[in-house]
Amino acid sequence: MASHVIAFETPISKVYQHLPPPMEDLDEVLAILFTGPCKPTEKDFQRTPLLVRRKQVACALEWLNLNHSDYADLEKNMFGSWNKSTE
Amino acid sequence: MSASNDLTDHCSDPKPFAYGGGWQYIFTFETVEPHIVARGDFNHECGFKFVDHVDSAGLVAYPVHKNFVHTVVPLQDILPHLSLQMGCKIARLHHIVIGSHVAKSDFIHYFDGHNCVSCTLYSSVFQVVESKIQKDRNRKRAVRLNLNKKAALADDINKKIRKSENMHDEKTLNIESVNLLKSDLNKQLDLEPTIEPTEFPPTPVDNDLSHKIISDFCAESSPSVLNESGCAVCGRLYPIKQLTRLKAIKNMLTVLHVSGITRIERSKAVQPIQELKGPVLDYRCNQVCDDCRKNLRKGKIPRHALANGLWLGAVPPELSCLSFVERLLIVHVRINSCLSVLHHLG
């Protein structure tokens, strides 16, 4: 699968204290469009380049919490409201 | 003896010594002429530029047919008009011992009454150049030629105008055509000096030219020109040519000792937050760009220096391995909304 991303500027509405943000919030800023001759199957979903590796994100947040002054008071959500790995 | 005469001539000169800078002194025909050993074709109006002081073997490099003149002019005559560097070279050739810090005015006196074997072996080489009179004359001639050309052109077009006036009876037509021709005249007069005669079609590229083109290209695109490296002070990439060693200015790095900028990487929460010791630098680079070096030499913190609050440290693998969507998840604020299109490829 190939992917193509377009980014639009939006006014900053909120500064997150809980990271990663809840899935509903992500709906506002990220839309994914499938194009092709047939409906994507479960197997196709497993191969999209837009998957999130929860462990990597957790590691990155951990590192930022330790080493970045802006992340020092971070409240980790750790995918509490996440039930699917794809968004 | 003409030598002594010439010497007195120079002494009466309002500016006997050249104090460095300016144009090279042009010797007159009268000074050089009595001592000429070998000469090419030139007349008495030429000037002479001093080139070198060499022995018979060295003279081969200055053939007479290439406008060089070999002479045995007495050293006292020419020395006042040579550079101190050339004077030292001549003194060495004649085994005259001169200290390293001698004023040019005293310099000449070392050669007073000098006579040695070298004097007969070595001769001075001059190059024939245009004297001031000739230059003036040539310039005037060029101007005159140009004027003549313009006058001829103007005549030509004026004739055409008159002809057309005779041919057409209707005044309106006349005025139009005359105006056209007049504007043509002005245009041609304006353009005349800029047009250079060019060959058409151009001759095919010969070996010399193609060699020059290729070697120029190679020189411009060689790794030493194109390679880039980081500056330790500002962390920006620069061509290697604009970088110098950081070690050379290590004593001036004290201005970069700024606290509250750096931070040592922690792996556990129990570790204390510490700063890196020493100046705020990118320690993976060992060179500094010209921009930063100039500011550091003045004792200022460069505008783009890492010490100016721009220090970030190395990006850890935890962050660099993240994908686009994963990066979206770890930021505090989102300034973009994204539309991602997935194409199904078979």
Q: Is the link from the previous residue into B201 a cis peptide, with omega within 30 of 0?
A: yes
Q: Which of A8, A50, A61 has the CB atom closest to B337's CB atom?
A: A8
Q: How many angstroms away from the CA of B277 is the closest CA of chain A?
A: 17
pLDDT given for residue B261 in this prediction? 84
pLDDT in tens, A10-55: 776 677 777 777 777 777 778 888 888 888 788 877 877 788 888 8
Q: B-chain residues within 8 Å CB-CB of A72? A: none
d(CA B46, CA A62): 85
- Work out the burial of residue A76: count CB atoms within 10 Å of its CB; fewer than 13 is exposed, 13-18 middle, 19 or more buried: middle
d(CA B21, CA B190): 38
Q: Tell me the residue ranges of DSSP E strands in chain A.
A: 2-9, 18-19, 30-35, 75-76
pLDDT given for residue B346 in this prediction? 60
- C-alpha torsion B24→B29→B30→B32, nearest 10: 70
Contact between A52 and B326 using a beta-carbon 8 Å cutoff? yes
pLDDT given for residue B119 in this prediction? 80
pLDDT grade for B29, boundaries at 50, 70 and 90: confident
Q: Which of A80, A69, A65 has its CA nearest to residue A20? A: A80
pLDDT given for residue B33 in this prediction? 82
Kindly tell me if the per-residue pLDDT of B145 is higher than 50.
yes
When mean pLDDT is compared across B16-30, B33-47, B133-147, the lowest value belongs to B16-30
Q: Does B314 touch chain A (CB under 8 A)?
A: no
User: Mean per-residue pLDDT for A72-85?
Assistant: 65
Check: CB of residue A21 under 8 Å from CB of residue A74.
Answer: no
Q: B-chain residues within 8 Å CB-CB of A26? A: 328-329
Q: Which of B7, B249, B251, B218 has its CA nearest to residue B108? A: B7
pLDDT given for residue B231 in this prediction? 92
Kindly tell me if the per-residue pLDDT of B10 is higher than 50.
no
Pairs of residues, one from chain A and one from chain B, whose beta carbons lie less than 8 Å apart: 143
Buried b (16+ CB within 10 A) or exposed e, B121-142: ebbbbbbbbebeeeeeeeeeee
User: Mean per-residue pLDDT for B120-144?
Assistant: 85
User: Mean per-residue pLDDT for B81-96?
Assistant: 83
pLDDT in tens, B254-301: 888 888 888 888 888 888 888 888 888 888 889 999 999 999 999 888
> Which token pair is B47?
């000037």
pLDDT grade for A87, boundaries at 50, 70 and 90: very low
User: Mean per-residue pLDDT for B214-240?
Assistant: 91
User: Mean per-residue pLDDT for B111-117?
Assistant: 80
> Which token pair is B244?
């110098």
| Whether the complex's predicted ipTM surpasses the cut of 0.90 | no
pLDDT given for residue B8 in this prediction? 41
Kindly tell me if the per-residue pLDDT of B83 is higher than 60.
yes
Contact between B322 and A63 using a beta-carbon 8 Å cutoff? no
pTM score, whole prediction: 0.46
According to the per-residue pLDDT averaged within each range, which of B47-51, B54-58, B316-320, B334-338 is highest?
A: B316-320
Kindly tell me if the per-residue pLDDT of B184 is higher than 70.
no
Phi/psi at B13 (5° precision): -60, 135
Contact between A31 and B340 using a beta-carbon 8 Å cutoff? yes
What are the contacts of B145-151 at 24+ separation with CB within 8 A? Answer: B146/B192, B146/B193, B149/B192, B150/B189, B150/B192
Q: How many angstroms away from the CA of B268 is the closest CA of chain A?
A: 7
Contact between A30 and B267 using a beta-carbon 8 Å cutoff? no
pLDDT grade for B189, boundaries at 50, 70 and 90: low
% of chain B surpassing 70 pLDDT: 84
- C-alpha torsion B315→B318→B320→B322, nearest 10: -150
